[in-house]
Structure 1
Amino acid sequence: MNIYDQLQAVEDRYEELGELLSDPDVVSDTKRFMELSKEEASNRDTVIAYREYKQVLQNIVDAEEMIKESGGDADLEEMAKQELKDAKAEKEEYEE
């Protein structure tokens, strides 16, 4: 399992925890509720960073697509190239 699969598993668990924490049976069980709340809190920063990273990857794909579809519009192509450059720089920051 690579790092991205592991991060996806953490995100999946985080979403599951959110659902569990809204379950009336869990809410009425104080001990279980506290355990799940702590687990959710311990994963929150990781999940936020992973979601931001996935958004950066999507921004790269979107910018590349915009460049391909610029249709000779120099302004649009230049804007897309700048967005691509910015997104790639942001990706590098996450990967450090």
Structure 2
Amino acid sequence: MNLSFTTINIVKLALECRDMESLTDKKREFFKKLQKCIDVSAEQLYDRYVFQSTAIKKQFPMLMSGMWLESEKLKPDDKVETVLKNGSLFKRV
């Protein structure tokens, strides 16, 4: 199950580096910008996971009716954190 996703627009990052003279400088700046986006995305995805983990089963009746792995084991007022550990967080690049 996919818990959340973030998209990184690498074309935009490349376009932001196009006016640099040196190809080496363009590559260095592109990968610097990409790494910054990856770091921010990873933090955002983790924060989203932490927030989602505070929810309880009865807030998601359809998803917790067996659609998510191990969700049927939860009681209505149990937090969904144990179920979310089976999910994934994506960075689309």
State the TM-score bracket (shorter-chain normalisation): 0.3 to 0.5
- Structure (1 or 2) with the greater helix fraction: 1
TM-score for both structures, normalised by structure 2: 0.40
